[in-house]
Structure 1
Amino acid sequence: MDGMGKQHDATVLQLARRVHFNTTTPGGLKADAPEKDKKMHTMRRVARFRDFDYQVWTDGSVVLDVSSGAGALVFPKEGRREKVVLGAGSVAFSYWAKCVAMEAGLKRLVDVIELSKTHRTRAVALTNSLLLRMALSTGPAVVEDAILRRIWELMRLVRIRVSVNFQFVFSHCGVPRNEAADKTAKQGNTKPQMYPA
């Protein structure tokens, strides 16, 4: 293996140490579980991250063949919440809108961390898209979609100072920050629908 291959492998290993993907649903529940159980187990999962420096909540919204929206909220442990609202494209589907939301949320996280000059930061990114989480968990060397490569590039930019933990959360079960991300995503439906592929 040449020097370039070794450098690439080292970068992938470094990213793997700083980025974690939880591959289970809260409480091991299925999608058809009662809403109260989904909320309880999701809230338990979220509570494990209350001491993290940042929580990034993302969601997407689609009005079929009309518009789509992406919303991201960055909650620092201390300080002011950051909000991103974007149009995700007029022919977008739910997965795409959720990818746009995750990219926007991580971009905002990068900006906030750069401004605060913090070191050894821990962040959790919460999404209600199992598909997005699974696609990202394949790693930076495997993803093919341009937006997934951009998301991994954002993680590469922050890997020195930030460890990011990706978590799945159930949606529409009364979890306050997830409901806020959903509302933010719906606001994106009214924004220009020009997001790049």
Structure 2
Amino acid sequence: MWYYWDTHSHNRAPPIQHRIFLWDTVSCNKVEFNQPRFAQDASDDVRRTAFDSIYSSLGDFDFELWTDVSSSLAELASGSAALLYYSTTTNDLPVEIHRAAAGRLARSYRAECLATEKGIISSHTFCLETSQSPTRILVATDSLSRTEALRVVPLAMQDYVTEEIWIMLLSLIKRGHSVNFMFSPSHCGIPRNEAADDEAMIARSLPQEGSPIWHVDFLAAARRPYWRDAQKKRKGAYTA
């Protein structure tokens, strides 16, 4: 059986440009990464408590960026959202919300990268416009794969968006700002994570045409029908 996908409505993602050099790694090491530890089958309360323990130990942040994505294979749609919070606001509402379609073929990892890119660019601009002194910035996401991709040595990056994120991070670090990344477990009652999830679901309804496509997205999409066929055959063998 042959399957066909129309990729003409998607722009190709630009190639990596290798703009980070060996001497930049000293500044890269100043970006911190934090991950709460809990068992894979831990309850919502345990996961939330593990997150709160690390979150409270880090102290107060001037800015917090929370990102999330929503993907649906049935709808062939993906959305990403980035919510920027500022410590001076009197309510727990974001000062900026960025929503974007991630494309019909997008994996959750790529959508998270796009959400982080938009959010970091927004944070960079907001920091420079609102504060003349160094600030502390938290970036929270429930994508462990995205966090790990950023944690690796920047010289080993494989895609343009991750490189673009690091370019923005280096710009903040060199201006004296500090950045902490933190993995946030999803769907366990963390308010800002839930808010980002709601916005990502709204973003999923945006037009998907024109979203950049990565080659890994196309390969993943190509495998899906064969994987579903294999699952059906396996299920049929068990019930025969």
TM-score, length basis structure 2: 0.73
Give matches, 1:22-37, under 5 Å.
22=34, 24=35, 26=36, 28-37=37-46
Corresponding position of 2:106 = 92
Q: Which runs of 4+ in 1 moved over 6 A?
A: none
Structure 2: tracts of 5 or more residues without a match: 1-19, 214-240
Displacement of 1:49 in angstroms is: 4.2
- The question of whether the paired residues in 2 share the 8 Å contact of 1:125 and 1:167 is answered with yes
In 1, are the aligned partners of 2:28 and 2:170 still within 8 Å (CA)?
A: yes
Cα deviation, residue 71, structure 1: 0.6
Q: Deviations over 1:148-171 (max 9, x none)?
A: 111111112222232111111100
Residue equivalent to 1:142:
156
More displaced stretch, 87-96 vs 171-180 = 87-96
Larger radius of gyration: 2
Aligned positions of 1:8-87 closer than 5 A? 8-17=21-30, 19-22=31-34, 24=35, 26=36, 28-49=37-58, 51-64=60-73, 66-79=76-89, 81-87=95-101
Shift of 1:129: 0.9
User: What is the Cα deviation at residue 181 of structure 1?
Assistant: 0.6
Offset at 1:50? 5.0
Q: Is the 8 A contact 1:49 1:124 kept in 2?
A: no
d(CA) in 1 for partners of 2:110, 2:132: 31
How many equivalent residue pairs?
187
Q: What residue identity is the alignment partner of 1:60?
A: V
Q: What is aligned with 1:196?
A: 212
**Higher strand proportion (structure 1 or 2):** 1
Q: 1:86-125 alignment to 2 at 5 Å?
A: 86-125=100-139
1: CA distance, partners of 2:134 / 2:23: 20
Indicate the percent of aligned positions where both proteins have the same amino acid.
Answer: 32
Letter of the 1:20 counterpart: E
- Which deviates the most, 44-53 or 175-184? 44-53
Match in the other structure for 1:3 = none
Unaligned runs of 5+ residues in structure 1 are: 1-6
Distance 2:22 2:164 in 1: 19
Residue 194 of structure 2 corresponds to 179
How far, CA to CA, are the matches of 1:96 and 1:52 in structure 2?
27
- Paired with 1:192 and 1:143, the residues of 2 have a C-alpha distance of 29
> Residue by residue, what CA displacement relative to the aligned partner does 1:56-78 show, whole Å, maximum 9, x if unpaired?
11111101161100011111111
Query: What one-letter code is carried by the residue in structure 2 that aligns with 1:97?
Result: A
In 2: Cα distance, 1:37 partner to 1:69 partner: 28
